[in-house]
Amino acid sequence: MDLSIILYEDEHLLVINKPSGIVVNRAQSVKGETVQDFADAYLHLASREASAPQKSTEPLTKEIKEIFLDRSGVAHRTDKETSGCLLIAKAPVVLGLLLEKFREHAIKKTYLAIVHGKIVPSEGEINAPVGRLPWNTERFGIVAGGKESVTKYKVEKFFEQKNSQFSLVECYPKTGRTHQIRVHLKYINHPIVGDYLYAGRKTARDDRKWAPRVMLHAWKLSFDHPILMKRLEIEAPVPDDMMKIACI
């Protein structure tokens, strides 16, 4: 990854346009560069110019300092194949304030997805609890006892591809559960194109012949800056693969 992925930056935080295929967090099972590796390297260079805010902020705790170092400032996660906006704090106090905003659902996220079928109605809300499947811990689903999960959606367009109908849909998750959008769209029988976990084995295999990944993009972030107190509206350009498929 290079500096061209940076969508917004000031002395407190930055937003990057994460490419599809890049894992966010380091792990023993992960090979290749991660977003966390990028943040480590970049924040080390940027620290010469960045000044950690000391006024009008909550006192730092040992816990948030450890979380900052453990995450390299990365404030949230997206799946490996999901492209788009990712928020990174430059200092522990900023990360703490951003995490609080996430807990309060004060950071608004908009995703774009290409899904199978024609979604009717064209606007709606999916409210169904999401939890890890007990028989397959790599997957999530709608399960009794799962965490409350809410996703609003709006269809942008319908189109045909490969003699089948598809929808380009905006998704607005009000909660931030793992795989939430993917699970919710599967729940209403409109799985995301290329989704190897939730579209079904045969469907995903056929999708991958013409769609190279899970067709999900973290399109926009909207939130009040935790230090500067100004409204930020950040948008990651729709990637070429999605534009080509949906004829945008």
Banded model confidence at residue 20, pLDDT cuts 50, 70, 90 = very high
Lowest mean pLDDT among 28-32, 54-58, 212-216, 238-242: 54-58
Q: Which residue has the tokens 């769609």?
A: 211
The answer on pLDDT for 55 being more than 50 is: no
Banded model confidence at residue 131, pLDDT cuts 50, 70, 90 = very high
Q: Calculate mean pLDDT across residues 128-142.
A: 93
The answer on pLDDT for 239 being more than 90 is: yes
Q: In this structure, which long-range contacts are made by residues 53-59, counting pairs with CB atoms below 8 Å and at least 24 apart in sequence?
A: 53/12, 53/91, 53/93, 53/94, 53/227, 56/227, 57/93, 57/97, 57/227, 58/93, 58/96, 58/97
Q: What is the pLDDT, as a whole number, of residue 63?
A: 86
Percent of the chain exceeding pLDDT 70 equals 94
The answer on pLDDT for 137 being more than 90 is: no
Task: Quote helix, strand, coil % in the chain, to nearest 5.
Answer: 25, 35, 45
Percent of the chain exceeding pLDDT 90 equals 81
The answer on pLDDT for 171 being more than 90 is: yes
What pLDDT digit, counting tens, does each position of 77-96 carry? 999 999 999 999 999 999 99
The pTM of the whole model exceeds 0.75: yes
Residues annotated as catalytic (active site), given as ranges = 79
Strand ranges (E), 108-188: 108-116, 123-127, 130-133, 136-142, 150-161, 164-173
Banded model confidence at residue 21, pLDDT cuts 50, 70, 90 = very high
The answer on pLDDT for 110 being more than 70 is: yes
The structural domains of the chain, ordered by start, are 1-104 (3.30.2350.10), 108-248 (3.30.2350.10)
Banded model confidence at residue 59, pLDDT cuts 50, 70, 90 = low
Average per-residue pLDDT in the chain?
91
Q: Calculate mean pLDDT across residues 186-214.
A: 96
Banded model confidence at residue 30, pLDDT cuts 50, 70, 90 = confident
